[in-house]
A = this chain, B = another copy of it.
Amino acid sequence: MSHAGKQSFVFENPPTIAAHVSVAGPREGAGPLGKWFDTVLEDDLLGQKSWEKAESEMLRQCAQEAVRASGMPETEIQAFLSGDLNDQIIASGFCARALKTPFLGLYGACSTFVQGLVLASALMDGGQLENALVGASSHFCTAERQFRMPLEMGTQRTPSAQWTATAAGCAVLRKGAPKEKGLRITAGTLGRVVDYHIKDANHMGAAMAPAVRDCIRAHFADTGRKMGEDYDYIFTGDLGWIGREILLELLDECGLHVPPERLIDCGASLFSKEQDPHAGGSGCGCVASVSCSWVMKRMEQGEFSRALLVGSGAMLSPTSGMQGESIPSIAYAAGLEER
Is the pair A49, B323 in contact by a Cβ cutoff of 8 Å? Answer: yes
Is the pair A319, B128 in contact by a Cβ cutoff of 8 Å? Answer: no
CB-CB contacts below 8 Å: A289-317 with B: 315-317
Stretch at the interface among A15-23, A33-41, A107-115, A251-259: A107-115
**Shortest Cβ distance from A48 into B: residue:** B323
B residues less than 8 Å from A52 (CB atoms): 319-320, 323
Q: A123 within 8 Å of B by Cβ? A: yes
Task: Count chain B CB atoms within 10 A of each CB in A86, A105, A195 and give the residue with the most.
Answer: A105
Task: Count chain B CB atoms within 10 A of each CB in A104, A129, A190, A193 and give the residue with the most.
Answer: A193
Q: A231 within 8 Å of B by Cβ? A: no
- Residue A87 contacts which of B2, B87, B190, B193 (CB distance < 8 angstroms)? B87
CB 8 Å contact bits of A100-135 with B (1 = contact, 0 = none): 111111111100000100010011011111100000
B residues less than 8 Å from A87 (CB atoms): 87-88, 317-319
Q: A65 within 8 Å of B by Cβ? A: no
Q: A1 within 8 Å of B by Cβ? A: yes
A83-B107, A87-B319, A319-B90 as given contacts; A102 in contact with B191, CB under 8 Å: yes
CA distance A79 to B318 in the complex (A): 26
Is the pair B103, A330 in contact by a Cβ cutoff of 8 Å? Answer: yes
Is the pair B94, A325 in contact by a Cβ cutoff of 8 Å? Answer: yes
Interface size class of A (residues with CB under 8 A): 35 or more
Q: A53 within 8 Å of B by Cβ? A: yes
- Residue A190 contacts which of B102, B109, B130, B323 (CB distance < 8 angstroms)? B102
Is the pair B108, A105 in contact by a Cβ cutoff of 8 Å? Answer: yes
B residues less than 8 Å from A275 (CB atoms): none
CA distance A7 to B86 in the complex (A): 27
**Shortest Cβ distance from A3 into B: residue:** B128
CA distance A105 to B115 in the complex (A): 9
Q: A243 within 8 Å of B by Cβ? A: no
CB-CB contacts below 8 Å: A63-119 with B: 78-79, 83, 85-90, 93-94, 96-97, 99-109, 115, 119
Is the pair B90, A192 in contact by a Cβ cutoff of 8 Å? Answer: no
Is the pair B192, A328 in contact by a Cβ cutoff of 8 Å? Answer: no
Q: A140 within 8 Å of B by Cβ? A: no
B residues less than 8 Å from A129 (CB atoms): 3
CB-CB contacts below 8 Å: A1-60 with B: 1-3, 6-7, 9, 49-50, 52-53
CA distance A1 to B130 in the complex (A): 9
18 contacts between A and B (CB under 8 A): A1-B127, A79-B190, A85-B88, A86-B317, A87-B88, A87-B318, A88-B320, A89-B107, A90-B325, A94-B328, A96-B315, A102-B191, A103-B192, A105-B107, A122-B128, A123-B128, A126-B128, A146-B319
